[in-house]
Chain A
Amino acid sequence: MAQPADAANIARVIALRAGIPQSVPAVTVSRNCASGCEALTQAQEKIRAGQGSIFVVGGVESMSNIPLLFKSSTAEKFKHVARAKSFGQKARALAAFRAGDFQPRVGLLLGLTDPYCGLNMGDTAEILAREFHISRAEQDAFALRSHQRAVAARETLAGEICPVFPNLAQPINGHRPGTVLQDNGPRENQSADALAGLKPVFDGKTGDVTAGNSSQVTDGAVALLVMTSERARELGFKLLGALAGYAYAGCDPARMGLGPLFAIARAEAETGLALADADLIELNEAFAAQSLAVIKGAASDEFAKRFLHRNRPLGDFSADKLNVNGGAIALGHPVGATGARLVLTSLRELQRRDAARALVTLCVGGGQGAALWLERMSS
């Protein structure tokens, strides 16, 4: 996630402004796309270690507020202007600027590029589309399904949406936004034709990954209240669910989209819970190509043997369990918030279906995967 320039520890700013007492510490964690999961799993670790019994965890991302940046050579020139004393020095310093100095570096793009392998996230999705033989049509169909499910689930999802009444005392980027009552990502009128008509974004000549079959750039925030079941009983809270186990795993940064496969395998090794045990699965839709590659990889004997070092494949992502309320292609992927949002959505859906267990899994830019097993509490 992109750390805001004006809030070095955004968690502390949020905690204070939310009225959490000053004496309660706050920390911002980052595991890129799985930061929302990281916040939750760290809370569990701390509770287990006896470091506190109640935590507010979550995630936030305002991708519309990620600033444009100057190149460091431009910044250097600004520094000379600021240091210049005499008029002559100032004039000389100003004269050093060239038009090219003012071409901004887009913070959003920088954030979505892996500095290690030098690839944009979309490029990594293109690699998966090629290597797993995922057609443009398959990707678009996956994207369309995401929209259809999200639109159908509007009412269900409304229950987890807290209307946002922006603090109007502080204009945001000079304008005063109105009340936000629902997700603005899902498109009622999304058609297969419209998706098919889009140009590829990352590989303009031969690519298949378009704006339509990628997750949306979105603002979003989510908060979860986490505590031990004893504390919840004491304070009279009803429990939504519990975190039964989790695992993070690393993989090739250029194929970061496969991260879920590695994480699910590790989680299975640690908890004994396999893909087949899930009543519901939330697989973050970073890209349709990436999600489809995960689905194919999970079913593949060869992938299991070569990369997961096991004899049997992970299993099936059956369509009636997977992303039943749509995913990031329709709802958006506010990077810092998504992990915690998927946890909330899956726990509420478990309750709605009166089902027992859900798997939340995400790929993570930089080559990681996260897999969280959640259970409904029998109260």
Chain B
Amino acid sequence: MNTMVQEAESHEFVPRVIPPPEGRYLHRTVRDDGICVLTFDRPGSTANIFDRATLEELQHELDFIESGQNITGLILISAKPTIFIAGLDLRQITEMTSLADIGELLAFGQAQISRLTQLKIPTVAAIHGAAVGGGYEIALACDYRLATPDKVTKIGLPETNLGLLPAWGGATRLPRLVGLPRALDFILAGKTTSAQGALRLGLVDQLVPAERLVRAAARAIQKGKSHRPSHWLANNPLTVAFLAPPMRRRLFQKTRGHYPAVLKAFEVMSGGVTRSVSASLALERKGILELARSESTHNLLRLFFMRERAKKRVLNDSMPRLEPKPINHTAVIGAGVMGAGIAQWLSSRGLTVVLRDVNTGQVAHGMAGIAKLYQDGIRHHVFTHRDARDGLDRIAPAPAEVPLRHMDLVIEAAVEKLELKKKIFQKLDELAGEETILATNTSALPVSELASATRRPERVLGLHFFNPVHRMQLVEVVAGQATSPEALLRAVRFVQRIGKLPVIVKDSPGFLVNRILMPYLIEAGILFEHGADLEQLDEAMLDFGMPMGPMRLLDEVGLDVALHVAQTLAAHFGDRLRVPVILSRMVEARVLGRKSGTGFYLHDRKMRPNPPLKAFVQSNSAHSLTRDDLQERMYFLMLNEAARCLEEKVVSTPEDIDFAMIMGTGFAPFRGGPLRYADSLGIEKIVGAMEILADCGAKQYAPCVLLKQMASDGSKFYPNP
């Protein structure tokens, strides 16, 4: 036997496979130096997740390692190109009907992961790809965490976004690793961060190129077990007693008590950090069982699944089977706020954009706005300097006419004037190539009419982005009367590819989101006209769970824009929608909201009500209404309009409406959307209350046909919860 060769080999760490690789989800190899490498590789999937079966295999492997005599260290690694471990299989959780089952699964997972910390050998998580939820919690139970610096590597504990808390030791071990304040900041916001961000926060110890992960992990093992003490300054009982009460108060104010998971995570973390690890783990288990009972958690989980569906959704059966040609080259017509916002987003996702405006100054202004978005992104670690430079390089500012023959998609984002837009579409029709899709970003004008200005209306559709583009994930894909299924599918795939969430809507006034939102905003204006207090109106809806009150939202949107949308809708809906006088009078007086400095509020250093607006108050009839009354009136109108949209088949399912309203307007996510909320209130009850209001002369409250019919036959929007 040639010992020289053997030595050389052991130096190279040639892995030796120890049979049997009976595992389906986990593969074990023990190397010559005694280091055991556990590779997560879920068959037939691009992702690793934790389900019952995987956890059982992990248990089996841990049994082996604990009993193994010659094992010197443990490396956890994934065989997937973009995912380390994506956490717990949420579907398995939602399918469980009994609390006891959920509790048992959680306790089992927690126990297995905790066993890692008790191993006598050093342990390393070698992370490449997403390590989120349980995927990061298992890494937290290791002695060392190495990660690759690649874009696909992401570290996150998003549980609170789903109404849950990191209960596999995340809420216990993260505060011990990085200190309670930093851990709270990360877990309560449900954050996910890049590898660089994770290194900065101390969530991982070192960044290592993917090819050298195992080598670096083996070196870390040679350092022995880590003995990191808990942060004594941040985590001692005195500090916690000092920091916790004001933080608890702030959290309650911020969530208005609507997000029990955030509060629960806070309690578990601040309570657990001063207790023993096992006591803290017990708090986690108790916390999650309480959360599993809440309606809010159920709605947030449903929202998660709706998002997943929107990311991948295939159109219905009438859609073409063939995957459409991808969209790479785009042009945006109009360099205003929306045009520039869209151009910035597209360029940041790797698409080339021609940003065209007839006004050179506007192009310059748009480019400056785009540069600012990129700079903000650099500051928030969303972009590197190079990302920003490349993104800006992908935008070709065009103050003169340029050929659009090679464009895959042209998005028009000009001023909301029908005649002007028709002219633009005529021109685009000439300039564009045969395969170019022409889209309008109009928020209210009829897509079919714009399409009829072209020779080929089948390639015209609406792509309605929301403002600010870089933050709003929803895009309404509007199908005109003549839009071809091919064009529609291509547009949906485009929206998915740029990381937005599509909802397909029929070409009807206001489409979906603005149509449901507008009656609510208008009602707020009418209530104000009738003496309701400005701040009470906003507070009422903040209490409801909206991210912003209606009056403040009107100011942000701009009163001129709101008036235009309101008038367009009123023209179609007649007396069902009455535009309050105050809106047009404010627009006449150039009181336009935030952009003009004054609206319902004065927008200088500190926002405060605009006193002269009292002159527009016509009566006192709404003055005595309580916050609850105001709230009810305002959301009734959203519920009613949402039901009417379903009645008119603006979209095909109640999920579409609930999803669009949550993603497009921030409609209280924990309530599950307007239709889910209507179900939970009881439709009969709502219809009764609305009819009383309508009988008192407020015709806008008359419930729609669908609601009345559902009230009489006792049906629900979601028959199976």
Binding site for B on A (CB under 8 A): 17-19, 163, 165, 167-170, 178-179, 181, 236
Contacts and interface: CB of A to CB of B under 8 A. Distances in A.
A169 B363 contact: no
Interface in B378-415: 378, 385, 388-394, 397, 399, 405
A236 B405 CA distance: 10
Contact of A179 (B360, B375, B390, B393): B360
Interface stretch (B168-176, B364-372, B693-701): B364-372
A170 B388 CA distance: 9
B483 interface: no
Contacts of B399: 163
Interface in B343-379: 352, 360, 363-364, 367-368, 371, 374-375, 378
The main secondary structure of chain B at its interface with chain A is helix
A168 B392 contact: yes
A181 B361 CA distance: 10
The size bracket of the interface on B is 20 to 34
A181 B394 CA distance: 20
Given A168-B375, A169-B389, 20 more contacts: A17-B389, A18-B393, A19-B393, A19-B394, A163-B360, A163-B397, A163-B399, A165-B367, A165-B397, A167-B371, A167-B393, A168-B368, A168-B371, A169-B371, A169-B374, A169-B385, A169-B388, A179-B363, A179-B364, A181-B360
Contacts of A178: 364
B360 A19 contact: no
Nearest to B361: A179
The main secondary structure of chain A at its interface with chain B is loop
A232 to B, nearest CB: 14
Contacts of B368: 168
Interface of B: 352, 360, 363-364, 367-368, 371, 374-375, 378, 385, 388-394, 397, 399, 405
A236 B404 CA distance: 13
6 contacts: A17-B393, A19-B394, A167-B392, A168-B367, A178-B364, A179-B364
Contacts, number: 43
A181 B375 CA distance: 24
A160 to B, nearest CB: 11
B363 A163 contact: yes
A163 B360 CA distance: 8
Nearest to B371: A168
Interface pairs A-B: 8 shortest CB-CB: A168-B371, A169-B388, A179-B364, A165-B367, A165-B397, A167-B392, A17-B393, A169-B389
B343 to A, nearest CB: 12
Contacts of B375: 168-169
Contacts of B405: 236
Nearest to B387: A169
Contacts of A181: 360
A19 B391 CA distance: 11
Nearest to B397: A165
A255 to B, nearest CB: 43
A178 B364 CA distance: 8
A17 B352 CA distance: 12
B93 to A, nearest CB: 43
Contacts of A163: 360, 363-364, 397, 399
Contact of B363 (A19, A165, A170): A165
Contacts of A170: 385, 389
A19 B352 contact: yes
B649 to A, nearest CB: 43
B389 A167 contact: yes
B364 A169 contact: no
Nearest to A169: B388
A165 B360 CA distance: 10
A297 B375 CA distance: 57
Nearest to A237: B403
Contacts of B390: 17
